[in-house]
Amino acid sequence: MGKLKPPIYKPAINEIYVTKNKTKSRSYIRRTKKLLLEKKFPCVIINGLGSAVQNAKSVADAVKKELHDQVSLEQEDSIVKVYEEVLSNNKDQIPKISQTEKPSISIQIRLLSNVRNKI
């Protein structure tokens, strides 16, 4: 039996999806700062699902610390239903669908007014 790969979702430029292991936190922090300071986005959204929720919180806190508390963080927690389709090696067998609920987090990071000039 094997799982189907999830559909590819292309997030907005100012959205960052934090994973559990794939990318180092330093990369997320650097990318967030670049979007806020160089690309001048009014906010950057950090998202985490399941076991990546804690990593998303850590990234947001690190950005706030590195920018000397010159950002505001707005956090939204939720529970998301996740559906997985499990395929059998037997082509005649109907795929099984399982449903689980996972915690989710979305953190908006906004620069405080006139901060770009100070940092």
CATH number, residue 104: 3.30.110.20
Q: Is residue 116 part of a domain?
A: no
Return the pLDDT at 32. Answer: 97
Containing structural domain, residue 24: 13-111
Rounded to the nearest 5°, which phi and psi values hold at 34?
-65, -45
Find tokens 């100070």 and name the residue.
118
Q: Is the pLDDT of residue 103 over 90?
A: yes
pLDDT for res 94? 83
DSSP β-bridge partners for residue 86: 3, 96
Question: Looking at residues 105-113, what average pLDDT do you find?
Answer: 94
Is 104 among the domain residues?
yes
Mean of all residue pLDDT scores within the chain: 88
Does a structural domain hold residue 93? yes
- Exposure string of 49-81, with b = 16+ CB inside 10 Å and e = fewer, is beebbebbbbbbebbbeebeebbeeeeeeeeee
Q: Does residue 118 form part of some domain?
A: no
pLDDT (0 to 100) of residue 86: 82
What average pLDDT score do residues 31-40 get? 94
| Residue 86 domain flag | yes
55-69 pLDDT, tens digit per residue, is 999 999 999 999 999
Q: Could you tell me if residue 56 is inside a domain? A: yes
pLDDT score recorded for residue 114: 67
Q: Please indicate, yes or no, if residue 2 is contained in any of the structural domains.
A: no
Q: Quote the number of domains for the chain.
A: 1
Average pLDDT value for residue range 112-116:
71
- Residue 8 inside a domain? The answer is no
